[in-house]
Amino acid sequence: FIEKDLVGKKIVITAGPTIEPLDPVRYMTNHSSGKMGYNIAKEAVERGAEVILVSGPTSLVPPKGVNLINIKTTEDMLNAIDARFDTCNVLIKAAAPADYRPETVSEEKIKKKDNDNELIIKYIKNPDIVAHFGNKKEDQIIVGFAAETNNIYEHAVEKIKKKNLDFIVANDVTKEGAGFNVDTNIVSIIDKEGIKTDYPIMDKRQVAKLILDKVKSILEYKS
């Protein structure tokens, strides 16, 4: 039995990697499978929320009832959210968007050069999606993720401040059973006051439940 405690709430959830093309046959990406974001979307829709799932390329089947928007690049992801953010109550950023993209995208396949042993590619910064929505309305909630390999707490607190987040879900992606491309995660939730709660290893669906329970209590507090 699942309580429909998110009826009437519009939630935008991002999932998966973004990919940044280099030429017509090559791109840069990361190991995100989309599992974390898709589990949040499934939990949210089953609890009655209207869910918009903005997803990079994954091999997952989208949960029934979500409004799926497929995107490729970080800029696409930003634009897809931008078009919907005004009317949403909650934004949850479980995706792993590429921070940089190749400065130029070659129209033709880059050829291998026989007399050159290196290929140098210049990358330029992508927009930071979460920070873009930092001037949100007071009653809108933004949940960020932090995929870290060291100094998790310090980085998370910095991100909360810099990106005006309501809370952050930090995962140490070097731990076995956590982070990219596994069914489980090991997270710490850090709130605006800097209070950190550590959780044991659990299924990503259970992590999704934890996140949405916290979202629900903040929604109640803000209303």
Residues forming the active site:
30
State whether residue 156 is helix, strand or coil.
helix
Structure tokens at 54: 């903005």
- Torsion angle, CA of 160/161/164/165, rounded to 10 degrees? 20
State whether residue 220 is helix, strand or coil.
helix
**Contacting residue, 32, 55, 73, 89, with ligand PMT by CB under 6 A:** 32
Asked if 90 interacts with ligand PMT (CB under 6 A), we say no
**Which residue number places its CB atom closest to ligand PMT?**
129
How would you classify the pairing of strands 187-191 and 196-198? antiparallel
Asked if 22 interacts with ligand PMT (CB under 6 A), we say no
Asked if 172 interacts with ligand PMT (CB under 6 A), we say no
Q: Which helix (H) or strand (E) holds 38?
A: helix 35-46
Q: Which stretch binds ligand PMT (CB under 6 A): 21-29, 87-95, 101-109, 190-198?
A: 87-95
CA–CA gap between residue 193 and residue 197 (Å, rounded): 12
Which residues 37-76 are close enough to bind ligand PMT by CB under 6 A?
Answer: 74
Please, what is the minimum distance in Å from the beta carbon of residue 145 to ligand PMT? 4
Binding site for ligand PMT (CB under 6 A): 16, 32-36, 74, 93-97, 99, 126, 128-130, 144-147, 159, 171, 173, 179-181
